[in-house]
């Protein structure tokens, strides 16, 4: 289909203890709309989008791009984990010197507080480490987003910088499958 750097996308579905990570399908459209329309999910992401607008604009099969995993529990989508490769146009950003793949995660509120995001992100990062050994992954999140900050720490991201943007303090961190030699 398409590529994530030199890696063919999509991989075979990834199974964890409780979840499956797979490429998106048409059946995920309603849950993708729900994610983007949810005030709770979008509190720290610029606010929810209008349901009617999403119904008009979300493609029949949403999220068809390399690194965009649907997270499924018992056959239903509960969230997404994205490993987004940065396009050359975005490479002017000096923070991209730290890494050119960015992790993102969005879960439906009813799936919060059960460790699903940790389980899914760990599996996605393991897959990434196997596909592109040693390549770092970066992450942006608002410091006020306590759940996201806890998740970033559990996954092993370390802080590189805090900065102000969009009227809030932002956290910028990096993860690598290779432990630096002291």
Ligand X SMILES: CC(C)(COP(=O)(O)OP(=O)(O)OC[C@H]1O[C@@H](n2cnc3c(N)ncnc32)[C@H](O)[C@@H]1OP(=O)(O)O)[C@@H](O)C(=O)NCCC(=O)NCCS
Closer CB to ligand X, residue 80 or residue 176? 80
DSSP string, the chain: -EEETTEEESPSPEE-SS-EEE---GGGHHHHHHHHH-TTTTTTTT-PPPHHHHHHHS-SS---STTEEEEEETTEEEEEEEEEEPPGGGGGSGGGGG-SEEEEEEE-GGGTTSSHHHHHHHHHHHHHHHHSTT--EEEEEETT-HHHHHHHHHHT-EEEEEEEETTEEEEEEEE-SSPPP-
The correct pick among 125, 141, 157, 171 for binding ligand X (CB under 6 A) is: 141
Q: Is position 113 an interface residue for ligand X (rule: CB under 6 A)?
A: yes
The correct pick among 44, 58, 65, 159 for binding ligand X (CB under 6 A) is: 44
Q: How far is the CB of 77 from ligand X (least distance, A)?
A: 13
* Window contacting ligand X (CB under 6 A); options: 20-28, 59-67, 111-119, 130-138: 111-119
| Per-residue x/- track, 150-179, ligand X (CB under 6 A) | xx--x-------------------------
Interface residues with ligand X (CB under 6 A)?
A: 41, 44-45, 104-107, 112-118, 141, 145, 147-148, 150-151, 154
């Amino acid at each position: 289909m398409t590529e994530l750097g030199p890696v063919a996308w999509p991989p075979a579905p990834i199974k964890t203890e409780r979840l499956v990570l797979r490429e998106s399908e048409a059946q995920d459209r309603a849950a993708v709309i729900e994610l983007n329309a949810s005030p709770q999910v979008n509190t720290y992401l610029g606010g929810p989008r209008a349901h009617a607008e999403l119904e008009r604009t979300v493609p029949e099969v949403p999220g068809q791009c390399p690194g965009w995993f649907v997270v499924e529990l018992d056959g239903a989508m509960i969230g997404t984990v994205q490993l987004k490769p940065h396009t050359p146009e975005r490479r002017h950003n000096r923070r991209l010197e730290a890494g050119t793949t960015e992790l993102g995660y969005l879960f439906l509120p009813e799936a919060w507080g059960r460790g699903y995001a940790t389980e899914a992100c760990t599996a996605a990062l393991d897959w990434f480490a196997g596909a592109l050994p040693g390549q770092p992954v970066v992450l942006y999140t608002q410091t006020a987003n306590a759940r996201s900050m806890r998740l970033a720490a559990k996954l092993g991201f370390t802080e590189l910088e805090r900065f102000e943007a969009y009227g809030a303090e932002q956290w910028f961190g990096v993860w690598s499958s290779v432990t630096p030699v002291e």
